[in-house]
Structure 1
Amino acid sequence: MGMTVETALSRLMAQGPRLEPGHVWLAGAGPGDVGHLTLHAVSALAQADVVLTDALVGPDILSLLKPDAELIYAGKRCGRPSAEQAGISAQLVAQAQRGRRVLRLKGGDPFVFGRGGEEVLALVEAGIPFRVIPGLTAGVAGLAAAFIPATMRGINQAIIFATGHGAESQHATLNWEVMASLGQPIVLYMGAKRIGTIARRLMAGGMGADMPAALIIGATTPDMAVTVTDLDHIAETVGDADEEAPMLIVIGRIVAMRAKIMDLVAAVEPELCR
C-alpha cells in the first residue's frame, strides 16, 4: 500500500530546510492560486515569525501563516502610495537582527521583476543569512492557465519578458522597435499604463497591427479573465479593464493557439473552458 498524500507531504516538509532565527527567506508565492505554491514556500509560511508580503499575495496564501506570525504589508503598486524599496530592505535587516525568522513573500518569483536582487544585496551587506525560494512567475504560469503556450514549435524559438514600467520615460532603455524586429512573443509585466506607447513603438518597428495579443487578468485565480485582441486594439482593451486588477499582456502569434486549444478542450473537458 502506498502512503497517503498527507503522509507524503508531511515527510517532504520534515525533510526540508529550516528557517532559523536571524535568517531571511525570500519566497515566491506564485501567480495567485494557492495550489501553485512550492513545498518550500509552504514550509516558510509555517515557520516564519514575521512576514513582509506584497500586495498581490492573496488571503488563501496568507492563511497558511502560523497563528502568532506578524504580518507586515510591504507591497509596491504603481501609481499608489506604497513602501519605498530602501525601507523594505532595511526592515528585513532589522527584523533579522532581532533574531526573528523572517519571510519576504512576493507574488510570482522573487527575481522576476520583484526587486529580490536588491533585497538580497542589502542582506549580504548586513551579513544576514538568507535563502531564495523560487516561485512560478505569471509570465509562464499565467499563459499556461490561459491556454497560451509560452513556446510552440513552428511559431517561436524564444520568448521575451519585459516590464512596461518607464516605457514613456526619456531615460527608458528598452528598444521596442528592435524587439519588434525579433519576431518573438513579448510578455509584458506592469505594462497597462504604457501599453499605448509600447504598441505604437512595436508597430513602428515593423510588427503588424493585426498581431494577436491577449490581456490576462487575475491569472490562475477563480476570477481569471482572458481577452484576445490584436496589437492595434490592445490599448483599448486594457483601458476597459479594471486597473486595480493584476494584469499580464501577451503579444505574439502564440496567442492564436488559445482558440485552437480551447476548441479541443471544450470537446472533452468543457468545465476547463469556463
Structure 2
Amino acid sequence: MKQGHVHFVGAGPGDAALLTFKAARLIGEAEAVFYDALVGPEILKLIPARAERICVGKRAGCLSMKQREINARLVAAALSCKRVVRLKGGDPGMFGRLEEETSALGTHGISYDICPGITAASAAAAAAGVPLTARGLVRGVRFLTTASCPEKENRPDWAMLASAEETLAFYMARSKLPEIAAALLEGGLRADLPILIVEAVSLPQEKLQPGRLDELASGEIGISTAQPVLLMVGETLALAAEAARERLHSPVLEVASA
C-alpha cells in the first residue's frame, strides 16, 4: 500500500528570513502541515492554500493538543498518502518531543526525514551581538529546560552546571527566572556573572534585557510578558549590553535597562 512521508521541519525562532531554503521548499510542497503555536506568522503564510493546516499548540502555559493525538493524526495523514510537514519552532530536535513522534511513525512503517532549524539560543546570541563560546574562556554551550513531565521531575545538578566553563541557555524560562538564578548562585556561580533575558527572539517585539545573576535572583530584573523567554547565563554575555546599545538603530531591537 502506498503511503505518505513526514518531513520534520525546523521553523527557527520566528523570523521567516531565518528559515533554510530547504525548509521553505518543504513547506511550499506540503499537503498537510502540523504546526506549533510558536511558529512565526510570516512562516505560516508560506503554507499553500490547498494544504490542510493543523495547529497543535505546544506553547508553555497554554492549551495544546495531547501528544498522543498529535502522533495519531500524523500517522493518519501519512497513511492517507499525504505529503506531511511537522513544523516545529526552533530546531525539531531541541525540546520538541521529536522522539515520540518519530517512534509513532516507525511503529507504522512510515518514513520521515528531519530538516534542522536555527534554535533560539543561537538566534538570541546573534541578536545580542555576542558569541556563545570564547576561546580560553567559555568552552561549550549547554541547552537546558527546567520544565518537568508527569513521569519525572526535572532537577538539574546546579553545582555541576556552576562548575563548567559554559554558556547556559534555559528554554521556557519565563515562570522560573528568579528560581533558576537563585539555584545557580547556590550551586556556586558568582553573583556578578552576566545574564541575558531574551523575549520573542527574532520577532518584531523582540526584547533583550542584560543584567547580573544576583539582580535576577533578587527580583531586580523581571518581565511582565506572555512572550516566549530564553535565559542565558555566561561570561560572553558581558558584551551584550554594549553590543545592544550600538545596535539601537535596528527596528527589531528593544533594550531594557536593568
* TM-score (norm: length of structure 1): 0.84
Question: Partners in 2 of 1:240 and 1:86 — Cα distance?
Answer: 33
Give 1:49-60 correspondences, 5 Å limit: 49-60=31-42
| Map of 1:66 onto structure 2 | 48
Per-residue CA deviations over 1:152-173 (Å, capped at 9, x if unaligned) read 2242011111012139x98324
CA displacement at 1:183 relative to structure 2: 3.4
Q: For structure 1, which runs of at least 5 residues remain unmatched after alignment?
A: 1-19
Question: Partners in 2 of 1:39 and 1:219 — Cα distance?
Answer: 20
CA displacement at 1:81 relative to structure 2: 1.8
| Map of 1:14 onto structure 2 | none
Native 8 Å contact 1:160 1:185 kept in 2: yes
* Alignment equivalent of 1:107, drawn from 56, 72, 89: 89
* Alignment equivalent of 1:230, drawn from 194, 212, 216: 212
SS in 1 for 2:57: coil
Native 8 Å contact 2:9 2:87 kept in 1: yes
Native 8 Å contact 2:91 2:116 kept in 1: yes
| Map of 2:65 onto structure 1 | 83
Question: Partners in 2 of 1:237 and 1:186 — Cα distance?
Answer: 20
| Map of 1:240 onto structure 2 | 223
Question: Partners in 2 of 1:232 and 1:254 — Cα distance?
Answer: 17
CA displacement at 1:77 relative to structure 2: 2.1
| Map of 1:150 onto structure 2 | 132
Native 8 Å contact 2:37 2:57 kept in 1: yes
SS in 1 for 2:129: coil
SS in 2 for 1:255: helix
SS in 2 for 1:74: strand
Q: Which structure carries more strand by proportion?
A: 2
Q: For structure 2, which runs of at least 5 residues remain unmatched after alignment?
A: none
> Greater Rg, structure 1 or structure 2?
1
Identity of aligned residues (%): 37
SS in 1 for 2:140: coil
Q: Given the superposition, is the C-alpha separation of residues 183 and 151 from structure 1 closer, same or farther in structure 2, using an over 3 Å criterion?
A: closer
Q: Given the superposition, is the C-alpha separation of residues 238 and 72 from structure 1 closer, same or farther in structure 2, using an over 3 Å criterion?
A: farther
| Map of 1:258 onto structure 2 | 240
Per-residue CA deviations over 1:4-62 (Å, capped at 9, x if unaligned) read xxxxxxxxxxxxxxxx9611110000011100111111111111111100000122101
| Map of 1:206 onto structure 2 | 188
CA displacement at 1:192 relative to structure 2: 1.9
CA-based RMSD of the aligned residues comes to: 2.3
Q: Which structure carries more helix by proportion?
A: 1
- Which amino acid in the other structure matches residue 71 of structure 2? S
- Which amino acid in the other structure matches residue 199 of structure 2? I
| Map of 2:143 onto structure 1 | 161
* TM-score (norm: length of structure 2): 0.89
1:33 aligns with 2:18: no
Native 8 Å contact 2:91 2:118 kept in 1: yes
- Which amino acid in the other structure matches residue 185 of structure 1? T
Question: Partners in 2 of 1:125 and 1:171 — Cα distance?
Answer: 28
**Number of equivalenced pairs:** 250
Native 8 Å contact 1:158 1:184 kept in 2: yes
| Map of 1:5 onto structure 2 | none
Question: Partners in 2 of 1:118 and 1:165 — Cα distance?
Answer: 17
CA displacement at 1:270 relative to structure 2: 4.4
Q: Given the superposition, is the C-alpha separation of residues 46 and 237 from structure 1 closer, same or farther in structure 2, using an over 3 Å criterion?
A: farther
